[in-house]
Amino acid sequence: MTVSFLFPGQGSQRPGMLHDLADHPMVRATIEDASATLGRDVLELDEEKTLESTVSTQLAIYIAGVAIARSLAAEGAEADAVAGLSVGAYAAATTCGALDFHDGLRLVRLRSSLMERSFTAGYGLAAIVGLDEEQVSDLVARSTTAEFPVYVANLNAPRQIVVAGAIPGIDRVVQLAHAVGCQKAERLAVRVPSHCPLLQGVADTLVSEMKDLVPHDVSIRYMTNRRARPTRVFDQIRLDVATNIAHPVRWHDSTEVLVEMGTTLFVEMDPGRVLSNLATAAFSDVTSIATAATPFETVVQRIRSAHAEAP
CA nearest 17: which of 291, 307, 299? 291
pLDDT at site 194: 94
Same-domain check for residues 221 and 89: yes
**pTM of the model as a whole:** 0.96
pLDDT at site 199: 96
Residue 4 identity: S
Beta bridge partners, 123, equal 166
Same-domain check for residues 50 and 88: yes
Residue 1: pLDDT above 80? no
Same-domain check for residues 67 and 148: no
Same-domain check for residues 102 and 210: yes
- For 214, half-sphere exposure in the C-beta direction (CA atoms, 13 angstrom radius) is 4
Inside any domain, residue 192: no
Same-domain check for residues 112 and 8: yes
Residue 202: pLDDT above 80? yes
Domains in the chain, number: 2
pLDDT at site 228: 95
Q: What is the mean pLDDT of residues 169-194?
A: 95
Same-domain check for residues 127 and 86: no
pLDDT at site 190: 84
Same-domain check for residues 93 and 216: yes
Q: What is the mean pLDDT of residues 38-60?
A: 96
255-269 tens-digit pLDDT: 999 999 999 999 999
Same-domain check for residues 252 and 207: yes
Q: Is the dihedral of CA 205, 112, 247, 142 positive or negative?
A: negative
- With cut-offs at 50, 70 and 90, classify the pLDDT of residue 163: very high
Please tell me the distance from the alpha carbon of residue 25 to that of residue 74, in angstroms, as a whole number: 9
CATH code for the domain in which residue 18 is found: 3.40.366.10
pLDDT at site 149: 97
Inside any domain, residue 291: yes
Please tell me the distance from the alpha carbon of residue 109 to that of residue 104, in angstroms, as a whole number: 8
Same-domain check for residues 232 and 214: yes
Bridge-based pairing state of the strands 123-129 and 184-187: antiparallel
pLDDT at site 121: 87
pLDDT at site 38: 97
Beta bridge partners, 95, equal none
- With cut-offs at 50, 70 and 90, classify the pLDDT of residue 23: very high
pLDDT at site 54: 93
Q: What is the mean pLDDT of residues 31-44?
A: 98
Q: What is the DSSP letter of 71?
A: H
Rg over alpha carbons for the chain, rounded to the nearest Å, is 19
Please tell me the distance from the alpha carbon of residue 222 to that of residue 234, in angstroms, as a whole number: 10
Residue 310: pLDDT above 90? no
Same-domain check for residues 105 and 204: yes
- With cut-offs at 50, 70 and 90, classify the pLDDT of residue 91: very high
As a whole number of Å, the end-to-end CA separation of the chain is 9
CA nearest 81: which of 96, 70, 68, 102? 96
168-179 tens-digit pLDDT: 999 999 999 999
Look up the domain containing 177 and give its range.
123-187
Residue 311: pLDDT above 90? no
Q: What is the mean pLDDT of residues 51-69?
A: 97
Inside any domain, residue 278: yes
Q: What is the mean pLDDT of the chain?
A: 96
pLDDT at site 300: 98
Please tell me the distance from the alpha carbon of residue 13 to that of residue 54, in angstroms, as a whole number: 10
CATH code for the domain in which residue 155 is found: 3.30.70.250
Same-domain check for residues 210 and 231: yes
Beta bridge partners, 162, equal 127
Same-domain check for residues 300 and 151: no
